[in-house]
Amino acid sequence: MNLSGIRQFVIATGFLIFGGVFSEGTAFPAGSPAAINGQLSVCGRKLCNVHGNPIQLRGMSTHGLQWYKSCVNNRSLKALAKNWKADVLRLSLYVQEGGYASNPKRFTRIVDRLIKKASRFGLYVIVDWHMLDPGDPFANLQLAKTFFTAIAKRHADRTNILYEVANEPNGDAVTWLRLKSYHQQIIPVIRKRDRDAVILLGTRAWSSFGVAAGADETEIVRNPVAAKNIMYTFHFYAASHGTEYLEVLSRAAKRIPVFVTEFGTQQAHGDGPNDFVLSNAYLALMKREKISWANWNYSDDHRSGAVFVPGTCPKGKFAGGGKLKEAGAWIRTQMRSKDRFSTK
């Protein structure tokens, strides 16, 4: 049995191999996204399951774990997996603002525990290095290497992990060439421990393919990162980012592998009125092109972009999907629609 076969045996049986002896491990629930699709890979421009079929994952991103970790508990995860019918959870680990840099060991333990919790429900997990300010990823290069080394070492045997290595790079000095150099340093850190996981690469100007800085996807198309099983991230907020962003996403999806790891129906700061008309146009495009996505955000923050009403977490009722704001009810409906992926 080759390595791929061993990994699929683990999924199917829930056993891990140590020194030739089988020990009981954690199997994904039957019928869950991770059980159905197994180890993901990038085939051409698409995200594909273990059978080589292009799929679309749909899910939610947490808010910053330093503030809203209480919204990621067994009851909320059960609601997300069972009621919302989500496929993926993005764990947003802020680097600054009281996040990872303030206590690396503590936040590594938090992410480790949440990966295990989400995995018990058969969800895919995006480990998001949520760098934002400062916008230059090199400002936290060594911290990133330390963190991804620890997480990849602990979870290399899992088939449901994806790594997002730079949330929203930004700033005039952060050119695509500089950002590409960062990616080329982080990818080997992960690959040393996890050879198979899909790695999600931030794009410049707040993961907009450079649109927010007057560029577009062509800078990546002409000078891509030379690595396997990688995708490029794109973020949008429908009430702020109109047809220009939509057109760039449409063109990019035909030229490079894309994963929308964060989007909202509101303005770019995650608040304000919802634009469901343009959001529907984005979702139709992503469905047509099988672009996977995660919506911002699965918390009870007061802003309109948080799906739950304030006070829901941690002990609120999540039966029926939870007590939702307007955007929360809308995104839950979209997520529950069919045709997410093939079962073969």
Domain presence at residue 243: yes
Ranges under pLDDT 70 in the chain:
1-26, 339-344
How high is the pLDDT of residue 340? 61
Answer yes or no: is 148 within a domain: yes
At 13 the pLDDT is: 41
pLDDT, position 16: 39
Residues labelled as active-site residues: 168, 262
Provide the domain limits for residue 132: 29-335
Question: Any idea what the CATH number is for the domain that residue 154 is in?
Answer: 3.20.20.80
pLDDT number for residue 161? 98
Structure confidence at residue 11 (pLDDT): 44
Residue 9 resides in a domain: no
pLDDT recorded at residue 320: 86
pLDDT at 23: 27
The per-residue pLDDT of the chain, averaged, comes to 92
Task: State the Cα–Cα distance between residues 161 and 233, nearest whole angstrom.
Answer: 16
- What's the pLDDT at 341? 55
Q: What is the pLDDT of residue 317?
A: 87
Dihedral sign from CA coordinates of 156, 121, 131, 68: negative
Q: How many domains does the chain have?
A: 1
Is residue 17 included in any domain, yes or no? no
Q: Is residue 7 part of a domain?
A: no
Say how many Å lie between the first and final Cα of the chain, rounded: 21
Q: Domain for residue 203, yes or no?
A: yes
Spatial distance between the Cα atoms of 56 and 49, rounded to a whole number of angstroms:
10
Is 294 a domain residue? yes
The span from the CA of 168 to the CA of 134, in Å, is: 10
- Give the type of residue at 3: L
Structural domain includes residue 74: yes
What pLDDT is stored for residue 12 in this prediction? 42
Residue labelled with tokens 């764990």: 91
- Calculate ∠ Cα 305-306-310, nearest 5°: 130
Query: How far apart, in whole angstroms, are the C-alpha atoms of residue 165 and residue 276?
Result: 29
